[in-house]
Amino acid sequence: MKQPAHILIVDDDDRIRELTKRFLTLKGFRVSGAVDAASARRLMDNLNFDLAILDIMMPGEDGLSLLASIRKGPARETPVMLLTARGQTSDRIEGLRAGADDYLAKPFEPEELVLRCEAILRRSAKSAPPPDEVEMSGLVFNAARGELKSGDQRIRLTDAELQLLTVLARNPGEPVSREDLAVLTSAGLERSVDVQVTRLRRKIEPNPKEPVHIQTVRGIGYRLMPD
């Protein structure tokens, strides 16, 4: 029988931590709790977790510091969701750049937390490493080499186009929000992401007006659909 996913929740607020533990347990997850970074490390040294949920604003060592250390340690592949205070955009950006898989602003609806947990666990279960190459209507993109080729001919990409295609290729078939694309590339602004997507479609799509590879996900952002 498949074991339920084991989730670690790290939050110094006893009420939020216990309520979150209780709700996730009712939804079928196995849940452990930690009051601070030191407690979380002890648990992670002795147990395997499928997902860690870290509050950013904790006394002493904060969630961003804990995230950075997780990404350098033996549990580096563990997916991480950050809990952020609403409006703390800089923390959210720093967290994504440090390797967070998702973020959720407080206060949050428990049902949304569950849906986000399930989405992260689905991604981590089916995508160990991202593919080395993706194929799109006769084109081949190799993210490691930063090359888009048609046969032996290399198709020139600007730095911004290469960054965008690389981020999308890390998660083939999965939507990536416009906000995250703005953060993770040099676009900086969501409207700049839209401009780069339009330009990239001209180089990739058989018909840029009816894109089949870089698809718009309404209300979210974009996803890359290889052949």
- Tracing tokens 């930063």 back to the chain, one arrives at 146
Q: Which value, to the nearest 10 degrees, does the dihedral of the CA atoms of residues 39, 43, 45, 46 take?
A: 150
Domain boundaries, the chain: 6-126, 133-224
- pLDDT tens across the length of the chain (227 residues): 467 899 999 999 999 999 999 999 999 998 999 999 999 998 998 888 999 999 998 989 999 999 999 998 888 889 999 998 765 677 778 888 888 999 888 888 999 999 999 999 988 875 555 677 899 999 999 988 889 999 999 999 998 899 899 989 887 887 888 887 887 787 777 788 999 999 999 999 999 999 999 999 888 889 999 98
Q: pTM for the full model?
A: 0.58
- Tracing tokens 């390797």 back to the chain, one arrives at 99
Task: Look at residue 55 and give its three-state secondary structure.
Answer: strand
User: What pLDDT does 98 receive?
Assistant: 84
Task: Look at residue 89 and give its three-state secondary structure.
Answer: helix
Which amino acid, residue 14?
D
Each residue's pLDDT tens digit, 132-176: 789 999 999 998 888 999 999 999 999 889 989 998 988 788 788
Second-level CATH architecture of 6-126: 3-Layer(aba) Sandwich (3.40)
Second-level CATH architecture of 133-224: Orthogonal Bundle (1.10)
Domains 6-126 and 133-224 share a fold: no
**H helical segments located in 108-177:** 110-126, 159-170
User: What pLDDT does 1 receive?
Assistant: 47
For the chain, helix, strand, coil in percent to 5 are 40, 20, 35
Q: What is the DSSP letter of 134?
A: E
Task: Give yes or no for a cis peptide into 226 (omega within 30° of 0).
Answer: no
